[in-house]
A and B are shown apart, each in its own frame.
Chain A
Amino acid sequence: MAIASGKALLKRLLTRSTPSGKTPGRRSSGKSPRRSFAKKILLAGLLFAVLLASGYILHLDFVIRERFEGRRFALPARVYARPLELYPGLKLTAAELVKELQLLGYRENPSPREPGSYRWRESRVTLMTRAFVFGDGMQPPVALQADFAGGRVERLQPLGGSEDLALLRLDPALIGGIYPGNNEDRVLVRLSEVPQRVVDALIAVEDVRFHSHRGVDPRGIARALVMTLSGRSLQGGSTLTQQLVKNFFLSSERTLRRKLNEMIMALLLEVHYSKEEILETYLNEVYFGQDGNRAIHGFGLASAHFFDKPLMQVDLSEAALLVGMLKGPSYYSPRRHPERALGRRNLVLAAMAEAGVITDQQQLATRILPLGVVQRPPRGTSPYPAFLNLVHRQLRENYRDQDLRSEGLQIFTTLDPWVQQAAEQALVRRLEQLERNRGLPADSLQGAVLVSDARNGEVQAVVGGRNPRYEGFNRALDARRPVGSLIKPAIFLAALQPPHRYTLASLLDDSPLLLQQPGTEDWQPQNYDKEFHGSVPLYRALAQSYNVSTARLGLELGIAQVQENLRRLGVEPERPGYAASLLGTDAYSVLEMAQLYQTLAGGFRIPPRAIREVLTFDGRPLQRYPLAVEQVIDAPTSYLLTTALQRVVTEGTGRSLSRYLPEGLGAAGKTGTTDALRDSWFAGFTGSRVAVVWLGRDDNQPAGLTGAEGALTVWGQLMAALEQEPLLPVVPEGIENVWIEVSSGRRSAAACPDVIKLPFVVGTAPAEMAPCAAPREKGAVRRWFERIF
């Protein structure tokens, strides 16, 4: 009987609901009316025993079938990074492409003719991609050469093809899995995908009569019995079916009772299922050892884990090695005990030759081959636990945890491995430097980073702490800390938005403020420099992060209005709002601040997304996480606010970013510092990326860093390490630029002193002229002027 295709098999197994096999056990019947009492007792006893035995067998039958059906498809979800898209003009060097290929496990090969191999010669990379099933279908392997010039992809030529490629998508890097509760990992294989040499080796070594016995092999048992009686061991005699049963119950207990149960269950399994089904399940079930806390199960994953290739491609030597390991996965581990593993492999080869499935010549030729095991196993547990944590969280909104851990879903995420790497390095290095330079105890500081794409909200990196590989507390998502001045843009938004009660040039009052309200403590906000600054233009109050004038502005606009704005920007403020919350006493997570600044970067609310789509285990699209945008700030107001946030960087608390970033980049952002320097924040954006950084201590003791001294430096280093698009907001309709005298807020002119050019919503710029700019005979001159032109 040929094995059914994967889907059909799954369907068959899933729809099988009632036992169709024969029920073991028989009914006995008595007849004679005149029997002695003793005989009746005996009969009744016998009947009872048979009933009991039947019941027990029925019970075993139920247990084993349930286990068989249930275990077959417990596949962890696989999580992938974004696939790299290659096209002429893309900013990418040959070295960067090679780095990506290495991440994907491509092998260097002087003549790359196999999928997953490449060759790099100066500005040319020749490669053959792997086949991959994306949400929009199967992408076959492509062989091509990529030429680079001036830091960009210049040309993509398919080998043997005529026309250049306009676009090529590489396969995505596997970045982790969502495992069943017991951390079992496996790559499911169909029997039809398993090379015959693997099956041959397995049967030759473990169960020569697999195809002829009915689950239990009497000859094997006889041998085992002799061995047991002669007092040697209980080992041996198990058929593959019995071993499978044993694996299901994960017990290595060696008692006669367990052995008996095992035999009955093996017989039952063979009644219900075909040899092919049993063999396929065996191949997927067997245990190949540990990788950290992840258990490697099945030949499919073992092949990837030890040889970094699909099972279909393993050769005779590798097949023999895998089969040989089954006897003792850790004792015969080819990584830890290569000699033992080699000896065991050769024993398997000998058994195969003896069984006649390979020739003696093949055996001799293969014995001398090395093990061929890759030193570094491909990543199983994720190197990016904080990002995976976000993925898992977003998935749980739509899926049951149980399904995530068992249905073999394929999750396509937005992670950019190189952005992630830059974020990790910036955080880890800066924390070490800061501790060293400031004489802080080593490892006392902590931090978190989140980077997203400014244009579509895709989360590119999440760092949850200074040990990014550690799967522990995720500070980017779960730590909520007071955000200080990071909240201020919500106040300035309230001031600038229609009906445009304020402009960037409006003068704010930065003189001492005392708020007295019945039932609350008096509130007297201070500036960071402990001084008051008199009248300050609005844009400067934000740029210099003046607390007093900002608090006064917020109180005048109303806390409710500010909170309403926070909601529009995408975060839920604490209720009720107190005056102090205007200066950021409310606590938020890095993720929430990323949402807020994502909205500020353009005026559209775009939820941070870590997932693009989810496919089923066999590549059918299951769910997409579409790009969603909603305009929440009108274009002119957004333009004004962005200009003010750029001023923070050019002249305000963020100006030390110039140490890291070129001025032409036009980065916008805001520092945040909290009470007694406990939290150091920086959030901001360029034309292409939004990033939020928090630094502080887990025990909430003062970290001794302002936003500019701490988080800003991480932000600067991170953004400098990445390709950035400059922030050049399109000037929307209804905006005009006007020269303003800073000290008075009056209209002025370029040639006058103390001036700045600021954007205004048309009709809101001040009318009153500064003396320097006031036209003496303005009306006459203009009219005369206009007549001429």
Chain B
Amino acid sequence: MRKLLIRTLLVVLAGLFTGCAVRPPVAPPPKVPEVEAEPVGPAAAPLLHTARQLASAGDLEPAGAQLERALRIEPRNPLLWQELARIRLGQRLYRQAEGLAARSNSLAAGQPQLRRENWRIIGRARNALGDHQGAREAFDRAGQEQP
């Protein structure tokens, strides 16, 4: 308790002393809370479910169509983008898979599990395209995502 009081006092004092220069040059980025949001809402959930069923039966094309429909309802859901990326990987549409996984990444700030999986998809797609250097970088990025 006393320690806290001293700290508070010091902060106030320091503020008075140094004016506007007190702000450290680089503010540490705010910690993003590590909550994995509700993966998909109730409207898109049945579509995702159907897509997964179709995909596991090998019907990748219609599975992709279901996911695109789900994405029209939740266009910023990184999980849906990732699922579509995985479908394209299965269809051997590697450039597409890479693009979609990157898109998922761009929407998945603070969701390390999703991001790691996206980097793996990117790595596999790049390997298949013969870009082994790029693939290694992607797998490294996957390793750096802290769950």
Name A residues whose Cβ lies closer than 8 Å to a Cβ of B.
Answer: 85, 87-90, 135-136, 166-167, 453, 455-456, 602-604, 612-613, 621, 624, 626-631, 635, 688, 730-733, 736-739, 747, 749-752, 762, 765, 772-776, 778, 781-782, 785, 788-789
Whether A781 contacts B46 in the complex (CB less than 8 A), given A624-B61, A631-B99, comes out as no
Q: Are the C-beta atoms of A730 and B109 separated by less than 8 Å?
A: yes
Kindly list chain A residues whose C-beta atoms are within 8 Å of the C-beta of B26.
736, 738, 762, 765
- B95-106 to A contact mask, C-beta < 8 Å, 1/0: 110111011011
Shortest C-beta distance, B6 to chain A (Å), equals 8
Q: B20, B24, B43, B103: which contacts A782 (Cβ < 8 A)?
A: B24
Measured as residues with beta carbon below 8 angstroms from the partner, the interface class of chain B is 35 or more
Q: Are the C-beta atoms of B71 and A167 separated by less than 8 Å?
A: no
Other contacts beyond A455-B71, A624-B64, A731-B109: 6, CB < 8 A? A85-B72, A630-B95, A736-B27, A738-B26, A772-B20, A781-B14
Q: Are the C-beta atoms of B23 and A750 separated by less than 8 Å?
A: yes
Kindly list chain B residues whose C-beta atoms are within 8 Å of the C-beta of A628.
96, 99
Task: Tell me which of A747, A765, A778 has the highest count of chain B C-beta atoms within 10 A of its own C-beta.
Answer: A778
Q: Are the C-beta atoms of B43 and A626 separated by less than 8 Å?
A: no
Kindly list chain A residues whose C-beta atoms are within 8 Å of the C-beta of B58.
none
Q: Are the C-beta atoms of B106 and A635 separated by less than 8 Å?
A: yes
Q: A87, A627, A736, A788: which contacts B71 (Cβ < 8 A)?
A: A627
Kindly list chain B residues whose C-beta atoms are within 8 Å of the C-beta of A749.
20-21, 23
Q: Are the C-beta atoms of A747 and B96 separated by less than 8 Å?
A: no
Report if B33 contacts A (CB, 8 A): no
User: B31-74: which have CB < 8 Å to A?
Assistant: 41-47, 61-62, 64-66, 68-69, 71-73
Report if B129 contacts A (CB, 8 A): no
Q: Are the C-beta atoms of A85 and B73 separated by less than 8 Å?
A: yes
Kindly list chain A residues whose C-beta atoms are within 8 Å of the C-beta of B44.
167
Closest B residue, CB atoms, query A625: B68
Closest B residue, CB atoms, query A788: B10
Name B residues whose Cβ lies closer than 8 Å to a Cβ of A.
Answer: 7, 10, 14, 17-27, 29, 41-47, 61-62, 64-66, 68-69, 71-73, 75-76, 84, 95-96, 98-100, 102-103, 105-107, 109
Task: Tell me which of B41, B69, B73, B84 has the highest count of chain A C-beta atoms within 10 A of its own C-beta.
Answer: B69
Kindly list chain A residues whose C-beta atoms are within 8 Å of the C-beta of B66.
136
Closest A residue, CB atoms, query B54: A136
Closest B residue, CB atoms, query A153: B43
Kindly list chain A residues whose C-beta atoms are within 8 Å of the C-beta of B20.
749-752, 772-773
Expressed in whole angstroms, the Cα–Cα distance for A88 and B43 within the complex equals: 8
Q: Are the C-beta atoms of B43 and A631 separated by less than 8 Å?
A: no
Shortest C-beta distance, B56 to chain A (Å), equals 17
Q: Are the C-beta atoms of B107 and A87 separated by less than 8 Å?
A: no
Expressed in whole angstroms, the Cα–Cα distance for A788 and B14 within the complex equals: 12
Q: Are the C-beta atoms of B27 and A737 separated by less than 8 Å?
A: yes
Closest A residue, CB atoms, query B110: A730
Offer 15 A-B interface pairs, CB within 8 angstroms, sorted by A: A85-B69, A90-B43, A136-B62, A136-B66, A166-B43, A167-B43, A167-B47, A626-B68, A631-B102, A631-B103, A747-B25, A773-B20, A781-B14, A781-B22, A785-B14
Task: Tell me which of B18, B20, B42, B69 has the highest count of chain A C-beta atoms within 10 A of its own C-beta.
Answer: B20
Expressed in whole angstroms, the Cα–Cα distance for A774 and B22 within the complex equals: 10
Expressed in whole angstroms, the Cα–Cα distance for A765 and B20 within the complex equals: 18
Q: Are the C-beta atoms of B99 and A87 separated by less than 8 Å?
A: no
Q: Are the C-beta atoms of B42 and A773 separated by less than 8 Å?
A: no
Expressed in whole angstroms, the Cα–Cα distance for A627 and B109 within the complex equals: 22
Expressed in whole angstroms, the Cα–Cα distance for A434 and B33 within the complex equals: 51
Shortest C-beta distance, A613 to chain B (Å), equals 7
Expressed in whole angstroms, the Cα–Cα distance for A290 and B96 within the complex equals: 47
Q: Are the C-beta atoms of A87 and B73 separated by less than 8 Å?
A: yes
Q: Are the C-beta atoms of A776 and B106 separated by less than 8 Å?
A: no
Expressed in whole angstroms, the Cα–Cα distance for A291 and B96 within the complex equals: 45
Q: Are the C-beta atoms of B106 and A730 separated by less than 8 Å?
A: yes
Q: Are the C-beta atoms of B17 and A136 separated by less than 8 Å?
A: no
Closest B residue, CB atoms, query A755: B20
Q: Are the C-beta atoms of B71 and A456 separated by less than 8 Å?
A: yes
Q: Are the C-beta atoms of B21 and A166 separated by less than 8 Å?
A: no
Whether A604 contacts B23 in the complex (CB less than 8 A), given A456-B72, A613-B65, A627-B68, comes out as no
Closest B residue, CB atoms, query A414: B72
Task: Tell me which of A167, A624, A629, A782 has the highest count of chain B C-beta atoms within 10 A of its own C-beta.
Answer: A629
Expressed in whole angstroms, the Cα–Cα distance for A781 and B61 within the complex equals: 63
Expressed in whole angstroms, the Cα–Cα distance for A455 and B74 within the complex equals: 10
Closest A residue, CB atoms, query B29: A736
Expressed in whole angstroms, the Cα–Cα distance for A785 and B43 within the complex equals: 52
Q: Are the C-beta atoms of A604 and B109 separated by less than 8 Å?
A: no
Q: Are the C-beta atoms of B65 and A135 separated by less than 8 Å?
A: yes
Q: B25, B64, B103: which contacts A629 (Cβ < 8 A)?
A: B103
Q: Are the C-beta atoms of B61 and A166 separated by less than 8 Å?
A: no
Shortest C-beta distance, A243 to chain B (Å), equals 45
Expressed in whole angstroms, the Cα–Cα distance for A171 and B105 within the complex equals: 34
Expressed in whole angstroms, the Cα–Cα distance for A85 and B24 within the complex equals: 50
Q: Are the C-beta atoms of B106 and A88 separated by less than 8 Å?
A: no
Top 8 closest pairs, chain A to chain B, by CB: A87-B43, A455-B75, A751-B20, A775-B21, A749-B20, A629-B99, A631-B102, A630-B99
Expressed in whole angstroms, the Cα–Cα distance for A785 and B17 within the complex equals: 12
Q: Are the C-beta atoms of A774 and B100 separated by less than 8 Å?
A: no
Task: Tell me which of B25, B45, B46 has the highest count of chain A C-beta atoms within 10 A of its own C-beta.
Answer: B25
Shortest C-beta distance, A113 to chain B (Å), equals 26
Kindly list chain B residues whose C-beta atoms are within 8 Å of the C-beta of A781.
14, 17-18, 22
Shortest C-beta distance, B93 to chain A (Å), equals 8
Q: Are the C-beta atoms of B109 and A136 separated by less than 8 Å?
A: no
Q: Are the C-beta atoms of A773 and B64 separated by less than 8 Å?
A: no
